[in-house]
Amino acid sequence: MKKLLLTIAILSCTYGFSQHGLDKDIANIEGKVIEWRRDFHQNPELSNREFKTAEKIAAHLKSLGMEVQTGIAHTGVVGILKGKKPGKVLALRADIDALPVPERADLPFKSVAKGEYNGEEVPVMHACGHDTHIAILMGVADILSKNTDKINGTIKFIFQPAEEGAPPGEEGGAKLMIKEGVLKNPDVDAIFGLHIGSGQLVNTIGYKSGGAMAAVNSFVIDVKGKQTHGSMPWGGIDPIMVSAKIIDGLQTLVSREMPLTQEAVVLSIGKITSGVRSNIIPESAQMIGTLRTLDTEMQSHIHKRMREMVSDIAKAYRAKANISIDEGYPITYNDPELTAQMASSLEKAAGKDNVNIMKAITGAEDFSFFQKEVPGLYFFLGGKAPGETEAFPHHTPDFYIDESGMLLGVKAFIQLSLDYLK
């Protein structure tokens, strides 16, 4: 008898959804998920401005009979689904904001939306796949709400605004949702999240235990020189030349002071602002940049050295400079115990051959704030069609996702949820 029960248990784990009777529900949801995704893609909204997006999400969750909370961290939406049996509380998260990027892909649901960013009118596009994340989680909510008899515990569906960062002067994102109690009442025991990838083959999943994505810090460097005529550089102090020396010096911190065989470090300057015309050496210059690290000690060291180097290089050329480094996002850290526990669920959803252990990446995610509060697992879903020769990067006008991989996201979330709560 014991052998028979063991055999049944093994078969149940092997066949995944068949044990739950959800195969048909999952197959039937794909059309809806794609329709939702296209609507969100065509109507994107910037961080902390996701008003219509939030309305659509809330309306869907309410139609499923869930307890729905709105206005969390400005535009965040949370749906609470209670299972028929007691158990733990699990959170599933999707980010909902878009980016100030013009869309070039020739799609029937191409975005032509406009928004305001830093006081300017800008084109808006879901250039990072958040539209797919919303639609996938809405599909998961749709299916699980009809199968509460299979849920041991409670599931919180968290639709989070401003993952790309709140506008200047505003709070937002995961950090503000946590501050406003999103992980409380009921208290969350664990959280799962996913990110679709334009360069990862559809119907595959990637994950990594421990540090999976980098911590990110933005920084601003202000350089003060002395203005003079462009024909007489000796009459002033050139902040543009000093800026060039600072950029060169900062890159040596990566190449000469960071143990790169241990973990990756990336330091990039994204913008330089200075001057008004060709024959005036200006008084000041400003640089903004990003730093990505995967080790907290390395992060602390490079922060210290950046502050020293910026000031000292400017002083060597008779200028003054100061640097401010923001708090940024922490490392996206997959709890090793939880990751080991849930690896088999990912394999059941995708098939063992379609699940890969990946290396850490230097992109960053504010899902990391949730992981600082409760154990979390963040995994990656393929969005590149088979045979596609070029995959355009995220945050670019040509970014494109193949929709055939979205159903696996639904499967993975459901399998993880039912297995964890079981």
Whether 333 is a known active-site residue: answer: no
Which residues are bridge partners to 289 per DSSP?
219, 269
Give CA–CA dist 168/242, Å, rounded: 27
For the chain, the residue count is 422
Catalytic member of 45, 103, 263, 403: 403
> DSSP letters of 162-224?
-TT-PPTT---HHHHHHHTTTTTTTTPSEEEEEEEEEEEETT-EEE-SEEEE-EEEEEEEEEE
Q: Are 207 and 390 in contact (CB under 8 A)?
A: no
Whether 117 is a known active-site residue: answer: no
Catalytic member of 207, 329, 378, 400: 329
Across 227-342, where does the E strand assignment appear? 228-229, 265-274, 280-281, 284-293, 320-325, 332-334
* DSSP 8-state class, residue 311: H
Closest CA to 416 of 334, 361, 359: 334
For 91, phi and psi rounded to 5 degrees? -110, 140
Q: Are 409 and 378 in contact (CB under 8 A)?
A: no
Active site residues: 329, 403
